[in-house]
């Protein structure tokens, strides 16, 4: 039958293994410190964690020094710059995600767009350029970019805007450049806020 | 798995230190003192230097304890402090390699009677090789179920609950076996570690 002293040491052994952590305050006396030190040595030896020479009075000397020199924990510092940078970074990440999402949505819409698209069918926020608008574009998985819909002849000529192939190719190149520059500028502007 | 268990216990102990419980920090020091010494021994060979750097690192960690927010484990956080302390020591040592400061505290150990006195409590140093042999012998002499329990705990890092399932015994039995194993091994190493 276990005596109360053995039961107490068993509890301390379990506490050392973090198996009995419901204590309000850690109670330490010399006898318990010796046991904790020995249990720490046993574990360190079995896991091959010991240096060549072991100072078994290290912990005692350290805590004595902390007490003698009245060493205290420093209050936690809150850095404004650190907090601001964190917030700015989060905002820039959101902006980048939003711009990527916008391009994806537009690309998806054009991919699924009806063949006969009118000049005025684009999203109003982006508008059109000389009869060519983003709705005329479709994403290209193979070329990893945005390219003009090849069925340019289906562009609505309601407004009397027509163009020959040469002009159309020219407008195509200009529009792709504008979109790329816009995305590049937007992304780098928001990223530089870090 | 051992790291996860220690993380849970360590965070609780750190919280207690942050609330002003220095005994909790004493337990953390006891837990990690040998691991810290092992890390430092990779930077310096001299035992006195290892001791000094370890002391410096633990004091820095104690002072900075309120900045520990649990984003990493306590050991990972402590590890960075220890490595920085070792590097700082090496840099400082290389700059002052050839200079001796006679006014430094090392040379002010004369007490009132003019006798050279030791400022610090003497360290109890033991050779880890000898300790290793004693502990391994004790492990071999343990009854099988006790040896199994202490091995699963200290080397495999299993929780008491997991061990109870693996060994098909109650958790209380696991707890008792681990304690009895430790008690047995302690009795064999007493001549090396007693005060």
* A29 exposure class (CB count in 10 Å sphere: 0-12, 13-18, 19+): exposed
Residue A178 banded pLDDT, cuts 50, 70, 90 = confident
Residues of B in contact with A82 (CB under 8 A): none
Residue A144 banded pLDDT, cuts 50, 70, 90 = very low
Average pLDDT, chain A: 68
Model pLDDT, residue A154: 44
Model pLDDT, residue A5: 61
Model pLDDT, residue A162: 54
Residues of A in contact with B59 (CB under 8 A): 62, 65-66, 71
Q: Give B128-193's CATH code, choosing from 1.20.1250.10, 1.20.140.10, 1.10.10.10, 3.40.50.12280.
A: 1.10.10.10
Contact B40, B54 (CB under 8 A): yes
Average pLDDT for B7-33: 87
The full length of chain A comes to: 194
pLDDT tops 90 at residue B7: no
- Grouping H, G, I as helix, E, B as strand and the rest as coil, residue A133 is strand
Where in chain B are the domains?
Answer: 2-95, 128-193
Contact B177, B149 (CB under 8 A): yes
Q: What is the pLDDT of residues B102-137, one digit of tens each?
A: 454 444 444 444 444 434 456 788 888 999 999 999
pLDDT tops 50 at residue A67: yes
- Determine contact: B96 vs chain A, CB below 8 A: no
Model pLDDT, residue A24: 60
Q: Is the dihedral of CA B20, B22, B23, B28 positive or negative?
A: positive
CB contact under 8 A, A36 and B27: yes
Average pLDDT for B164-187: 95
Residues of A in contact with B62 (CB under 8 A): 66, 71, 73
pLDDT tops 50 at residue A152: no
Nearest to A73 among B65, B182, B185 (CB): B65
* A95 exposure class (CB count in 10 Å sphere: 0-12, 13-18, 19+): middle
Model pLDDT, residue A189: 62
Q: Nearest to residue A194, comparing CAs of A90, A94, A98, A89?
A: A89
Q: Give B2-95's CATH code, choosing from 1.20.1090.10, 1.10.1740.10, 3.40.50.12780, 3.40.1440.60.
A: 1.10.1740.10
- Determine contact: B66 vs chain A, CB below 8 A: yes
Both tokens assigned to B155:
């080397």
């Amino acid at each position: 039958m276990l005596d109360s002293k053995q039961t107490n040491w068993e509890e301390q052994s379990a506490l050392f293994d973090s198996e009995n952590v419901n204590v309000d305050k850690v109670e330490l006396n010399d006898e318990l410190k010796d046991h904790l030190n020995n249990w720490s040595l046993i574990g360190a030896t079995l896991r091959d964690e010991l240096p060549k020479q072991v100072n078994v009075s290290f912990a005692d000397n350290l805590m004595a020094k902390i007490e003698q020199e009245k060493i205290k924990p420093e209050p936690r510092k809150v850095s404004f710059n650190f907090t601001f940078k964190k917030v700015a970074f989060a905002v820039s990440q959101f902006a980048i995600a939003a711009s990527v999402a916008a391009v994806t949505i537009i690309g998806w819409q054009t991919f699924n767009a009806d063949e006969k698209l009118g000049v005025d069918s684009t999203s109003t926020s982006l508008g059109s350029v000389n009869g060519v608008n983003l709705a005329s574009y479709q994403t290209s998985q193979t070329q990893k970019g945005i390219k003009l819909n090849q069925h340019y002849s289906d562009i609505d000529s309601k407004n009397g805007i027509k163009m020959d192939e040469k002009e159309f190719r020219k407008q195509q190149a200009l529009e792709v450049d504008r979109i790329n520059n816009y995305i590049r500028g937007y992304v780098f502007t928001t990223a530089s806020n870090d | 798995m051992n790291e996860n268990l220690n993380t849970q216990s360590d965070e609780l102990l750190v919280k207690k230190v942050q609330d002003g419980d220095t005994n909790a920090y004493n337990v953390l020091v006891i837990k990690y003192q040998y691991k810290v010494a092992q890390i430092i021994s990779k930077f310096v060979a001299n035992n006195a230097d290892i001791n000094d750097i370890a002391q410096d690192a633990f004091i820095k960690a104690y002072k900075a304890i309120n900045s520990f927010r649990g984003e990493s484990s306590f050991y990972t956080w402590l590890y960075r402090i220890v490595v920085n302390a070792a590097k700082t020591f090496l840099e400082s040592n290389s700059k002052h390699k050839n200079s001796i400061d006679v006014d430094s505290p090392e040379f002010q150990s004369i007490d009132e009677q003019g006798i050279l006195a030791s400022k610090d409590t003497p360290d109890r140093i033991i050779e880890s090789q000898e300790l290793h042999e004693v502990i391994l012998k004790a492990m071999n002499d343990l009854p099988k179920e006790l040896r199994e329990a202490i091995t699963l705990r200290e080397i495999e890092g299993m929780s008491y609950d997991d061990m109870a399932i693996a060994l098909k015994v109650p958790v209380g039995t696991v707890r008792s076996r681990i304690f009895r194993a430790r008690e047995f091994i302690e009795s064999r190493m007493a001549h090396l570690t007693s005060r």
